[in-house]
Amino acid sequence: MVVDVHDHFVPPAFAELVRRRGPDLATELVREGEHEHFLIEGTARRSYDPRLYDLETRREQMAEDGVDLQILSCLPFMTYYGVPPEDGLAVARLVNDGLAEAVAADPAHFTALATVPLQDPPAAARELERAVRGLGMVGVQILTAVAGRPLDDAALRPFWEAAAGLGVPVLIHPFEAVPTGELARHQLGNLLGNPFGTATAAALLILSGLLDELPGLVPVLAHGGGALPFVIGRLDRGWSGNPGQVGPGLAGPPSAHLRRFAFDTITFSAPALRYLVELVGGDRVLLGTDYPTGMMQAAPLAALEAAGLAPEVRDLVAGENARRIFGLGRGAAGAEEVAGRG
């Protein structure tokens, strides 16, 4: 079974919420000609076309790409970490219920990741448990920061403990609605800011010792891990050259923690994907497309072929790793404990 672990979906109920309460969320649905888009904070645009909500359109693309199962997650802007906690929880519940409805309509082709209100970590932990145990979701998607707070912030501990206890993967996805400075030009907020945001978030999880403290945690990095695979040597050099200052509690170099993560294949470069597989191992890489965004990886299986992966590794990446790591077909209890098998 070929599994695409990185896909985005907008439940129709969310679009209706924006039509009713858009100003409360700094989001509008705007029509220009025949097309609609979400306008976020009056500046950032995200297209709202049938590929985001129509399951038949998805199935047609999946058949063309040779994908059997998509793991759906909301668009990153839909996390709303900056709104009041009660509003964040209401949106998360609405989105999770909508994702669950989409999965129930065609469980042979779709499963889903929850979203949670991380501005209220205890509420996020409770919503994650509801989504996993009550709605059957196989993991959760979060952003690389929480309204300016880094992912190793002590206040987030209830969420991390819940994710580790449930044994479900945490897909870490970058997003900044309105980049500033140099990153506001040439879409560099997306093209460069996002990969470095992912690397920063992952580095903090390593250097803070959080991964060591929670061995049941299953983090998955979007976009091939962003810049992390290419700067891991600098992290090691900083750790070895600055005793007590960089990762003071670590027993070994940051690179020793790479296999605590899984990574999707969205690199847009055959040499980069080949390097990623060589660096972390073929059992740590998962097929992803970012469907249906403007930065989508087209023809994902062809990308694996172009990277020159051995057939047995290609099979792992195409689906076997996702089945193991997300516990597909076995429920949350079957999800891999990365630390134990890495």
Predicted local confidence at residue 44, as pLDDT: 86
pLDDT score recorded for residue 33 = 83
Instruction: Give the residue among 250, 173, 177, 218 at the shortest CA–CA distance from 26.
Output: 177
pLDDT value of position 331:
45
d(CA 264, CA 154): 27
pLDDT score at 114: 98
Distance between start and end Cα atoms, the chain: 23
pTM, entire model: 0.94
C-alpha count within 13 angstroms, C-beta hemisphere, residue 5: 36
According to the model, what pLDDT value does residue 333 have?
Answer: 43
In degrees, rounded to 5, the angle at the alpha carbon of residue 193 between the alpha carbons of residues 90 and 61 is 65
Nearest to 1 by CA among 264, 330, 329: 329
Check residue 342 and give its pLDDT: 40
- As a whole number of angstroms, the distance between CA 202 and CA 263 comes to 11
Could you tell me if 215 and 337 are in contact, meaning their C-beta atoms sit under 8 angstroms apart?
yes
CATH fold of the domain at 3-11+50-341: TIM Barrel (3.20.20)
Q: How far is CA 51 from the centre of its chain?
A: 19
Burial class of residue 341 in the structure, from the number of CB atoms within 10 Å of its CB (0-12 exposed, 13-18 middle, 19+ buried): exposed
CB contact at 8 A, 70 and 110 = yes
Instruction: Estimate the crossing angle of helix 228-241 against helix 194-207, to 10 degrees.
Output: 40
CA distances from 254 to 97, 216, 238, 240, 247 (A): 38, 18, 9, 10, 8
Q: pLDDT tens digits, residue range 25-68?
A: 999 999 888 889 999 988 888 999 999 999 999 999 999 999 99
Positions of the chain with pLDDT under 70? 177, 330-342
For the chain, domain boundaries = 3-11+50-341
Q: What is the pLDDT of residue 255?
A: 97
Residue 59's pLDDT is 97
For residue 292, say if its preceding peptide bond is cis, omega within 30 degrees of 0.
Answer: yes
